[in-house]
Amino acid sequence: MSRLSFTLNDSNKIPWLAFGTGTALYTKEAKKEVIQAISHGITHLDGAQVYGNEASIGDAIAESGVPRSSLFVTTKLWDVPAGKTVRDTLVESLRKLKVDYVDLFLIHNPQLHPDLKSVWKQLEELKKEGLSKSIGVSNFRIKDLEVILPGAEILPSVNQIEYHPYVFKASKPLIDFLKKHTIVPTSYGGLTPVNRFKGGPLDPVLEKIAKRLGETRGKPVTSGQVLQVWLRQQGVPAITTTSKAERLLEYLDVETIPDLTSEEVKEIEETGSEVHHRVFVRTSRSDSRLVTNLNCYVHR
């Protein structure tokens, strides 16, 4: 069972390890994989309206045998259809998820909302109504946050972003801004250096640290686990996914791995900063169409 959680600026707790359904499971029936994740002890489920599989998350929650109060369920607002409200979209998500509330409701992509301040105000009302325990954002840049923060009655609790050592240097101003405003960065794509961009300068650094940690604790440690310790040590929840039970156990085991030394952290960040690999391009409106490079959401 994953036990480690971080405290958000609204005093709610967010489990550090989340199971996501927006990449390998994007638009797929995900019930089996979500039930497997829950049964292995993952309590934080990361979904979104655009992933097309909220109903299968709902089926998994219903069939898991785990009480709703033990789970942390996230979904994300995509666009707001004409004639509908943000609330209408969340009510539809709750129907698909078969829950009375979500633990976290995020604005998925700021570039979809010319009226970003108004959308944030609607999320504030949804938190007050109790339809979402916490509210936050995703893929927000500093300039997007500067639109909603002035006059916000409720701060975003999280900003879910692509965060790993290969975007560390580019992300530093945003991470510092989030810290200043007590907004927790949550990481997606955190394993990019070992999956999408294996063969980069980090490989030998992660292998060396994994070897040291493995020898210290008498149990092997993987490079992927080193990346997740790097995130955990910063207080950054990791959103990951897998269909393999052994990977779930690998991710869960990270809670038992000691922190990296300050020298190891420095070496990961300096080596990661030698290159820049951002995988998840921003979706942006183009000729009034939403252009999204979906290829980057599934692994090569």
Ligand X SMILES: NC(=O)C1=CN([C@@H]2O[C@H](COP(=O)(O)OP(=O)(O)OC[C@H]3O[C@@H](n4cnc5c(N)ncnc54)[C@H](O)[C@@H]3O)[C@@H](O)[C@H]2O)C=CC1
- For the annotated catalytic residues, the residue numbers are 51, 108
Spacing of C-alpha 9 from chain mean position: 17
Helix axes 245-253, 223-233, angle to 10 degrees: 40
Structure tokens at 107: 């604005």
Q: Which residues make beta-bridge pairs with 286? A: 289
For the window 68-107, what string marks contact with ligand LYFO2JCZ as x by the rule CB under 6 A? ----------------------------------------
In contact, 53 and 47? CB cutoff 8 Å: yes
Q: Does 139 bind ligand X (CB under 6 A)?
A: yes
Q: Determine the Cα–Cα distance for residues 124 and 86; give it in Å rounded to an integer.
A: 11
Q: Which stretch binds ligand LYFO2JCZ (CB under 6 A): 5-13, 86-94, 230-238, 291-299?
A: 291-299
- Alpha carbon dihedral 175, 181, 182, 187, in 10-degree steps, equals -30
Structure tokens at 140: 């927000």
In contact, 134 and 161? CB cutoff 8 Å: no
Q: Which of ligand LYFO2JCZ, ligand X, none sits in contact with 50, Cβ below 5 to 8 A by type?
A: ligand LYFO2JCZ
Among 72, 163, 188, 230, binds ligand X (CB under 6 A): 188
Closest CA to 103 of 74, 127, 61: 74
Kindly identify the residues of this chain, within the stretch 249-278, that bind ligand X according to CB under 6 A: none
Structure tokens at 287: 């000729």
Q: Which of ligand LYFO2JCZ, ligand X, none sits in contact with 292, Cβ below 5 to 8 A by type?
A: ligand LYFO2JCZ
Give the count of beta carbons closer than 10 Å to the beta carbon of residue 47: 28
Among 242, 254, 257, 264, binds ligand X (CB under 6 A): 242
In contact, 231 and 163? CB cutoff 8 Å: yes
For the window 108-147, what string marks contact with ligand LYFO2JCZ as x by the rule CB under 6 A? -x--------------------------------------
Q: Which of ligand LYFO2JCZ, ligand X, none sits in contact with 239, Cβ below 5 to 8 A by type?
A: ligand X
Q: Which residues bind ligand LYFO2JCZ (CB under 6 A)?
A: 22, 26, 48, 50, 109, 283, 292, 294, 297
Q: Which residues bind ligand X (CB under 6 A)?
A: 20-24, 46, 108, 138-139, 160, 188-192, 194-195, 224, 239-242, 247, 280, 299
